[in-house]
């Protein structure tokens, strides 16, 4: 059965800290890995990773995929209170756009 | 504004009511999705439509009935729901290529419809 696991499930850090969120997957016909940020409402897209070893960056956020070890990490440097959210990892299959979401990591950044 | 609009944003319904959730996307996509997000559970894919054809039904109870009249609109018809169906229902869309197994493209979500069944 396809599954996506995230760790930790929750995390509390102070502003300015650097955090690493983990995502591992066991998915047949894997195509790409997606990261989303969810703040009370709908998830907003962060990154899509298709190839191993190529880091994607957006401001203080970066992410990388390892297709051999079947995991991805999301790094956030110099965290701010606005980074507080649930970060969702999802594995996309080749078959008809099916996407399997992980449980999310709830990040709280305190001043 | 994500380009995917859902209405209503909040809905309270009794177990004997019939209601519908509506989703409209303005992104020129041709794949649309319904997801359910319950408290403390991962997002659950319910239905996928590619080019108006349903290609995925994730063992969803028949009290949920999707309808996709065209590539820009998606409905979720609700009938005789249970209290455990209370959740955030998210619509999403993406590009999809007909005849090919998946596009790998980004999925864009609407802001969701909060449903409470009493």
Over residues A70-87, the mean pLDDT reads 96
Tokens at A109, concatenated: 């950044």
**Interchain proximity B110–A42, CB inside 8 Å:** yes
Question: What local confidence, expressed as pLDDT, does residue B89 receive?
Answer: 94
Q: Which residues on A lie below 8 Å from B3 (Cβ)?
A: none
Tokens at A17, concatenated: 């800290």
Of the two residues A56 and A95, the one the predictor is more confident about is A56
Q: Which residues on B lie below 8 Å from A41 (Cβ)?
A: 111-112
Query: Considering CB atoms only, which of B43, B108, B110 is closest to A88?
Result: B43
> Which residues of chain B form beta strands (DSSP E)?
4-7, 10-13, 18-25, 31-37, 44-50, 53-57, 64-70, 73-79, 87-94, 108-109, 113-117
Predicted confidence (pLDDT) per residue in A24-57, tens digit: 999 988 988 989 998 866 788 899 898 999 999 9
Partners of B54 in beta bridges: B49
Backbone angles phi, psi at A88, to 5 degrees: -105, 135
CA of residue A35 relative to chain centroid, distance: 4
Query: Considering CB atoms only, which of A31, A45, A100 is closest to B102?
Result: A31
**Percent above pLDDT 70 for chain B:** 90
Residue A53 CB: number of other CB atoms within 10 A? 10
Q: Which residues on A lie below 8 Å from B108 (Cβ)?
A: 45
**Interchain proximity B90–A104, CB inside 8 Å:** no
**Contact at 8 Å (CB) between B60 and B107?**
no
Predicted confidence (pLDDT) per residue in B42-67, tens digit: 788 899 888 777 777 778 899 999 99
Question: What local confidence, expressed as pLDDT, does residue A41 receive?
Answer: 67
Q: Which residues on B lie below 8 Å from A40 (Cβ)?
A: none
**Interchain proximity B45–A4, CB inside 8 Å:** no
**Interchain proximity B104–A104, CB inside 8 Å:** no
Question: What local confidence, expressed as pLDDT, does residue B97 receive?
Answer: 58
**A102 interface with B at CB cutoff 8 Å:** yes
């Amino acid at each position: 059965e396809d599954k996506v696991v995230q760790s930790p499930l929750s995390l509390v850090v102070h502003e300015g800290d650097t955090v690493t969120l983990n995502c591992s997957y066991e998915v047949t016909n894997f195509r790409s890995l997606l990261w989303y940020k969810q703040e009370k409402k709908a998830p907003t897209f962060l990154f899509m990773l298709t190839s191993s070893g190529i880091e994607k960056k957006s401001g203080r956020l970066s992410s990388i995929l390892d297709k051999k070890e079947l995991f991805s990490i999301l790094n956030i440097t110099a965290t701010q209170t606005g980074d507080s959210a649930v970060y969702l990892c999802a594995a996309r299959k080749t078959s008809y756009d099916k996407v399997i979401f992980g449980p999310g990591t709830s990040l709280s950044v305190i001043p | 504004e994500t380009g995917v609009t859902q209405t209503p944003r909040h809905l309270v319904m009794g177990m004997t009511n019939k209601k519908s959730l509506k989703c409209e996307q303005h992104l020129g996509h041709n794949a649309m999705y319904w997801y359910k997000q319950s408290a403390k559970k991962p997002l659950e894919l319910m239905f996928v439509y590619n080019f108006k054809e349903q290609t995925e039904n994730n063992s969803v109870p028949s009290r949920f009935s999707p309808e996709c009249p065209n590539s820009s609109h998606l409905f979720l018809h609700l009938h005789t729901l249970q209290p455990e169906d209370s959740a955030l229902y998210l619509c999403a869309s993406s590009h999809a290529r007909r005849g090919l197994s998946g596009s790998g493209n980004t999925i864009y979500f609407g802001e969701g419809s909060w449903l409470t069944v009493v």
